Chains A and B, each alone.
Chain A
Amino acid sequence: EPEVTQTPSHQVTQMGQEVILRCVPISNHLYFYWYRQILGQKVEFLVSFYNNEISEKSEIFDDQFSVERPDGSNFTLKIRSTKLEDSAMYFCASSATSTQETQYFGPGTRLLVL
């Protein structure tokens, strides 16, 4: 069964450093998403991406964040200058269409900012 994969599974970085989290969505899917979950809190929507542009983003997704689909398979989330409060589990998801399709989630990347 096709699945969403994410790398790395864990990342430790120093505050102020740039990180890139990588995701490989399911191959025939067109909509891509990033969510995050701070320890003990809800899973929160960050951004949706379709047709090589951002469709929707949350208030969390400020200028420090960017997303990109650099090739036909990868979907990346970049945090330009990490803060302590960026420590969280980051989930990538993809769906075939937008609203009435299941979003398939990856296993997540746990980011720790020191």
Chain B
Amino acid sequence: SQTIHQWPATLVQPVGSPLSLECTVEGTSNPNLYWYRQAAGRGLQLLFYSVGIGQISSEVPQNLSASRPQDRQFILSSKKLLLSDSGFYLCAWSVSEMTDTQYFGPGTRLTVL
């Protein structure tokens, strides 16, 4: 069966520090991968998605970047965090198209102080 992992689960970082969140998927090949951000009490905002290694599409211009160095690995990064980067970050995967069922990881709670 397929599983999706995210780490760390929680992170507290000072403003201006770098960020690296990792997401890995097991049990499937060539998945579509997604990064979402969820502000407190809000819906999900799609940040990035990837249809293959090295292929990244950005949905919202911001202080963040994404990379896909391996088929089942998706990384969310920032060189300098802002207070507004605080939130709950969710990684998800789907078999092929974005409109397919998406399967979510457990999320990372990021607090920027």
Do A and B make up one complex? Answer: no
- Mark B residues whose CB is within 8 Å of A: none
- Mark A residues whose CB is within 8 Å of B: none
